[in-house]
Amino acid sequence: MKKRFYSKEFKSEAVQLSYQRENIKELANELGVKVDRIYRWRKLDSEDGVSKKASKSPSQIDNQEVTQFTDKFFVYLKNG
């Protein structure tokens, strides 16, 4: 099984989206990662002291934002 590599940009965006969403499991499924990985990235992010908590509330999340992000990720996987 090939080990997946996630860019810093991907991790950062995933962390930001996780603070915007009410259901992190659903987000993890959309991004194709395990839930515990998102929580680990959040923990590492908070330990760095640079929290990426979103200014939007979960009700303000635009699904198009998630779709654009996942599209970028799949292009990255395809080319990488």
pTM of the model: 0.60
What backbone torsions phi and psi does residue 34 show, to the nearest 5 degrees? -80, 150
The pLDDT score that the predictor gives to residue 46 is 85
Angstrom distance (rounded) from CA 80 to CA 78: 6
Residues 50 and 30: beta-carbon distance below 8 Å: no
Angstrom distance (rounded) from CA 66 to CA 3: 24
Per-residue pLDDT of 40-74, as tens digits, reads: 999 998 877 654 454 455 555 566 777 777 777 76
Longest dimension (CA), the chain: 38
The pLDDT score that the predictor gives to residue 58 is 54
